[in-house]
Amino acid sequence: METSVLKVDPTNPESDVIGRAAAVIRSGGLVAFPTETVYGLGAKGLSAEAVAGIFNAKGRPSTNPLILHVSDASEVLNVAADWPATAQTLAARFWPGPLTLVVPKRDSVPHIVTAGGPTVAVRCPNHAVARALIRAAGVPLAAPSANRSTELSPTHAGHVLKGLNGRIAMVLDGGRCSGGLESTVVDVTGEIPRMLRPGLITVPMLEAVCGRVEVGAKSEGVARAPGQMAKHYSPRTPLALCATPTDALTSAARARAQGQNAWIMAPDSKEFDQLDEGADILSALPERYGAELYDVLHMIDGAEHDIVFVVLPPDTPEWAAVRDRLTRAAARE
Ligand code: AMP
Ligand code: MG
């Protein structure tokens, strides 16, 4: 299959471009499109056959459920059997935006979307292209990140093509994603909301509007959230996590002394003031670091490093999403 790449204005999407993409979706095809988190790979979300195409193109295990994207909160009742008060509160505050809510599913949602489970994940993205495409398609879009399963998420159209060129019908190229990390996922089916995946919306931000939030998957819930597989978001180059800048500098020096091509990736700090090569130094601000992360990891994968020593940022709520992605990126299986 030839993948067509269409440029689209990220703030004022051209209606003819959106119309062409929506026609592909309506005919059961796959279109990658920009959101404020990462590029999504969209298909008609209520068609089991179209959604099967997503699993096929990504090589995604069928145990890993998908998020349904709506263009407006009023559309959730087409896919959710119940819309708890907490869902309403969180959606009112954070939608459109990088927050996914897990709620009981309606019968109209095919089992393939939810990995056979009784709940469905829904999100209203805050990106003009994503919302225009959902509206024009006239149905919620199932849309995981537009990459091969377990590989790095895409934050621009070039990343999408690296993994999926020839496997999908179309890419809408709307430039870079501003957020750069996948959405926060919160299960609101229980008494107390539970954050299943950290993202740009942090626990303190959630707790400010809905009170206490629990963190992490319940142990009996098998793969309730796809991003919970240990190995995920992974570059091909081995990553070794380090607690401090000094650890990374020492380990890299040792590896180089043994003839290895070692590299460092870290948030900016004074230890790196003197360093002018051998490292990617990212922002010391969590949001900016998050926006740069996948692009840097894609570049690292394009270089010939034997190993990359990655300095973990502090263990605070603002850095939780970044630490989560780095930990999974470093996991080997
Ligand atoms: P991605 O492949 O990045 O789009 O990830 C999809 C995300 O959706 C996963 O990380 C899960 O956290 C979440 N998800 C989708 N459906 C469900 C569900 N029914 N229950 C819990 N989490 C879900
Ligand atoms: Mg993904």
Q: What pLDDT does residue 223 have?
A: 47
4-215, what's its fold?
DHBP synthase (3.90.870)
Is residue 192 classed as helix, strand or coil in its secondary structure? coil
pLDDT digit string, tens, across residues 99-114: 999 999 999 999 999 9
Domain edges within the chain:
4-215, 239-330
182 Cβ below 6 A of ligand 1: yes
CA of 147 to the centre of ligand 2 (A): 7
**CA nearest neighbour of 63 among 227, 194, 206, 205:** 227
Residues whose CB falls within 8 Å of the CB of residue 68, separated by 6 or more in sequence, listed in order? 45, 79, 109, 113, 120, 121, 122, 123, 140, 141, 142
Q: What pLDDT does residue 240 have?
A: 97
141 Cβ below 6 A of ligand 1: no
Q: What pLDDT does residue 333 have?
A: 67
CA of 115 to the centre of ligand 1 (A): 10
Kindly give the interhelix angle for 320-330 and 286-302, rounded to the nearest 10 degrees. 20
Which ligand ends up closest to the CA of 35? 1
Best of 70, 196, 324 to mutate for ligand 1, by most ligand atoms within 8 A of CB? 196
Residue ranges in the chain modelled with pLDDT below 70: 219-231, 276, 333
| Long-range contacts, stretch 134-139, CB < 8 angstroms, 24+ apart | 134/69, 134/70, 134/71, 135/71, 136/18, 136/19, 136/21, 136/22, 137/22, 137/25, 137/26, 137/42, 137/44, 138/22, 138/26, 139/25, 139/44, 139/45, 139/46, 139/47
Which ligand ends up closest to the CA of 67? 1
Residue with tokens 């008609």: 44
239-330, what's its fold?
Rossmann fold (3.40.50)
Helix locations, the chain, DSSP H: 15-26, 48-58, 85-94, 111-114, 128-137, 157-164, 203-210, 245-257, 286-302, 320-330
Q: What pLDDT does residue 252 have?
A: 96
CA of 309 to the centre of ligand 1 (A): 29
Helix locations, 27-156, DSSP H: 48-58, 85-94, 111-114, 128-137
